[in-house]
């Protein structure tokens, strides 16, 4: 059955959507002044906490070419402090940032972010101990030739250093990030698993994380999503998780990056995509794994140029995805990957560029830190979702 939101989204995709006020009301909420959501009872973190969900955002300094739009912008920091109860570093706690050359890790940037989080009573997620793709490992690691003991020693040094430095400040780690080839579903090779095999390396990463951060939730994180073009990716992730569970690997949860878009265009394709997504989440939950939404945003690459129509359509896409994903009580974390449009990585990622050259609008707040319909859609889903499992 086509819902009201699906109908609006279909019209918007054709450039025939309703006016701003009508579209925004149907999607959940029109633009709000930031002050309109300043009350503690209305913040996203408060709405989430009432249902046992942690709500947060990724913030950083390393991608900030303007020098004052991310962590260095006091107004953006204030928005995040008001709305969020969890912080994850965009890049500052990744291996290539902490140890760009052999030798001691440099924790200064991560410590600055995490120190601010603690001052603002935020919890901290760690992202990520190992990014599987060799492009995103430290260059010096990818250049080396390791035997099995050498690879284990390198991983142990790194994971022990990171987990030891942050101690119990980090409640949850993305232990391994993006280990599955989307096109084939096969595991990704790198210098650390050339001799042992990728599955053995992933298993080792989780065992080392449990050894050095026994208090922490240990997460596999990846960007598989709804849509038929992600079918092999989802299948590969399920296969890997099943093999890890069979080995007794201490993996606790699956991180759903949730960089979503208008998967397939028409309402029938969207319905089919969400049905496939539910089947995927059912299989993951059936393995006894928790779920996290770790990096949420909505690509508007294929949505209309008109801002009113585009924002309403993006809000509808967000609502449909979140209503389904947050209906799982084992999904206990929901993090954005940028709160306002100007800080979003999608502004510079070539595959997300709009053909008309307009800047993307993929987040709940615009570049002036004004709330958009997506913020309202998120709030309504948080209010309506079931209480999280104990």
In-domain check, residue 267: yes
pLDDT given at position 8:
32
In-domain check, residue 389: no
In-domain check, residue 60: yes
In-domain check, residue 154: yes
In-domain check, residue 390: no
Q: pTM of this prediction? A: 0.90
Residue ranges making up the domain that contains 42 = 4-384
pLDDT given at position 53:
98
Q: Could you give the CA distance from residue 248 to residue 107 in angstroms, rounded to a whole number?
A: 32
In-domain check, residue 320: yes
If one counts every other C-beta atom within 10 angstroms of the C-beta of residue 371, the result is 24
pLDDT given at position 39:
37
CATH of the domain at 38: 3.20.20.80
In-domain check, residue 364: yes
In-domain check, residue 202: yes
Low-confidence ranges of the chain (pLDDT < 50): 1-41
Write out pLDDT tens, residues 173-221. Answer: 999 999 999 999 999 999 999 999 999 999 999 999 999 999 999 999 9
pLDDT given at position 21:
34
Tokens linked to 359: 């800047």
pLDDT given at position 64:
75
pLDDT given at position 264:
59
How many distinct structural domains can be found in the chain? Answer: 1
pLDDT given at position 24:
37
371 Cβ contact list (under 8 Å, min separation 6): 29, 31, 32, 33, 34, 36, 37, 364, 365
Contact 263, 225 (CB under 8 A): yes
pLDDT given at position 265:
61
Contact 297, 363 (CB under 8 A): yes
């Amino acid at each position: 059955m086509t819902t009201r939101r699906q109908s609006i989204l279909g019209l918007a995709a054709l450039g025939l959507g309703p006016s701003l006020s009508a579209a925004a009301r149907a999607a959940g909420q029109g633009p709000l002044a930031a002050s309109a959501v300043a009350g503690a009872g209305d913040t996203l973190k408060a709405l989430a906490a009432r249902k046992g969900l942690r709500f947060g955002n990724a913030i950083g300094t390393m991608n900030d070419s303007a020098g004052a739009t991310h962590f260095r912008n006091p107004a953006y920091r204030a928005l995040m402090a008001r709305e969020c109860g969890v912080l994850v570093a965009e890049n500052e706690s990744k291996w290539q940032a902490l140890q760009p050359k052999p030798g001691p890790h440099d924790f200064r940037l991560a410590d600055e972010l995490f120190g601010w989080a603690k001052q603002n009573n935020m919890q901290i997620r760690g992202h990520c101990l190992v990014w599987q793709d060799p492009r995103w490992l430290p260059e010096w690691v990818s250049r080396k030739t390791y035997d099995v003991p050498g690879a284990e020693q390198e991983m142990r040094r790194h994971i022990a250093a990171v987990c030891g430095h942050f101690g119990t400040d980090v409640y949850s780690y993305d232990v391994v990030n993006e280990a599955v080839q989307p096109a084939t579903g096969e595991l990704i090779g790198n210098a650390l698993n050339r001799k042992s095999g990728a599955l053995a390396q992933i298993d080792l990463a989780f065992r080392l994380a449990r050894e050095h951060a026994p208090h922490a939730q240990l997460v596999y994180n990846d960007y598989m999503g709804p849509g038929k073009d992600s079918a092999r990716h989802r299948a590969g992730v399920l296969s890997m998780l099943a093999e890890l569970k069979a080995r007794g690997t201490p993996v606790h949860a699956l991180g759903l990056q949730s960089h979503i878009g208008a998967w397939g265009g028409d309402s029938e394709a969207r319905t089919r995509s969400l049905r496939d997504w539910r089947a995927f989440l059912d299989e993951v939950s059936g393995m006894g794994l928790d779920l996290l939404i770790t990096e949420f945003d909505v690509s508007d690459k294929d949505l209309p140029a008109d801002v009113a129509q585009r924002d309403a359509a993006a809000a509808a896409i967000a609502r449909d995805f979140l209503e389904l994903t947050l209906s799982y009580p084992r999904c206990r974390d929901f993090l954005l990957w940028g709160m306002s449009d100007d800080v979003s990585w999608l502004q510079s990622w070539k595959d997300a560029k709009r053909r008309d050259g307009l800047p993307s609008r993929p987040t709940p707040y615009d570049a002036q830190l004004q709330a958009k319909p997506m913020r309202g859609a998120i709030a309504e889903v948080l209010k309506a979702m079931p209480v999280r499992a104990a």
